């Protein structure tokens, strides 16, 4: 009798362990909607260092608002298409702006990339599939967006961006990462 009770207790414990082990394999919870939106946006194939996508999520209503500037119309349409099919999304408000095509701006983009990321102290921000510094060029006006480790890196990126000839202005919207 004692052996039977031990076997039942062992079987119960194993069953509870298996249930908790597989509990996280279903669909992600609705409260993690912002994380799923972010994942879909960074997975867009043509999303590059010259694009900026941001979003806000109203979890209560399921409304996702997309914003930013992109160089290719396909990035705008992909962003909206990927987000509107997520579970928990009821509406997508697309405020993404497609930058006008310009060979002048394309030249500035290339020179800004070289000026910032070829510099010894800033090259690490270009590593990975999604660089942490994004360079937005609109009619000769440059905006730096992203996150850097130190205030000195933020200032250095601003100085390097201002060295490119033909740039009318540079807006430095880089943020310094919080230390945890």
pTM of the full predicted structure?
0.78
Three-class SS state of 40: helix
| pLDDT tens-place string over residues 40-87 | 999 999 999 999 999 999 888 889 999 999 999 999 999 999 999 998
Q: Does 30-98 match 103-176 in CATH topology? A: yes
Three-class SS state of 136: strand
Given CATH 3.30.1340.30, say whether it is the number of domain 30-98. yes
Distance CA 110, CA 69 (A): 17
Distance CA 124, CA 176 (A): 15
DSSP code, position 26: S
Domain ranges of the chain: 30-98, 103-176
DSSP code, position 23: G
Lowest mean pLDDT among 86-95, 120-129, 137-146: 120-129
Q: Are 164 and 137 in contact (CB under 8 A)?
A: no
| pLDDT tens-place string over residues 3-20 | 545 555 444 544 444 444
Strand partners, 85: none
| pLDDT tens-place string over residues 80-112 | 999 999 988 999 999 999 999 999 999 999 999
CATH class of 103-176: alpha beta
């Amino acid at each position: 009798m004692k052996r039977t009770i031990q076997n039942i207790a062992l079987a119960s414990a194993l069953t509870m362990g298996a249930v908790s082990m597989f509990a996280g394999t279903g669909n992600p919870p609705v409260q993690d909607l912002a994380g799923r939106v972010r994942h879909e946006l960074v997975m867009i194939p043509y999303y590059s260092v010259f694009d900026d996508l941001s979003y806000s999520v109203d979890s209560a209503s399921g409304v996702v608002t997309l914003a930013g500037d992109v160089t290719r119309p396909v990035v705008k349409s992909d962003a909206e298409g990927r987000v509107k099919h997520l579970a928990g999304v009821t509406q997508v408000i697309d405020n993404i702006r497609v930058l006008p095509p310009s060979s002048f701006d394309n030249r500035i983009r290339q020179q800004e990339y070289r000026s910032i990321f070829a510099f010894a102290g800033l090259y690490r921000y270009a590593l990975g599939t999604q660089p942490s510094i994004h360079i937005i060029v609109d009619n000769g006006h440059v905006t730096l967006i992203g996150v850097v480790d130190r205030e000195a890196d933020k200032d250095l990126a601003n100085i390097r961006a201002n060295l490119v000839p033909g740039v009318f202005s540079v807006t430095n919207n880089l943020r310094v990462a919080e230390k945890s």
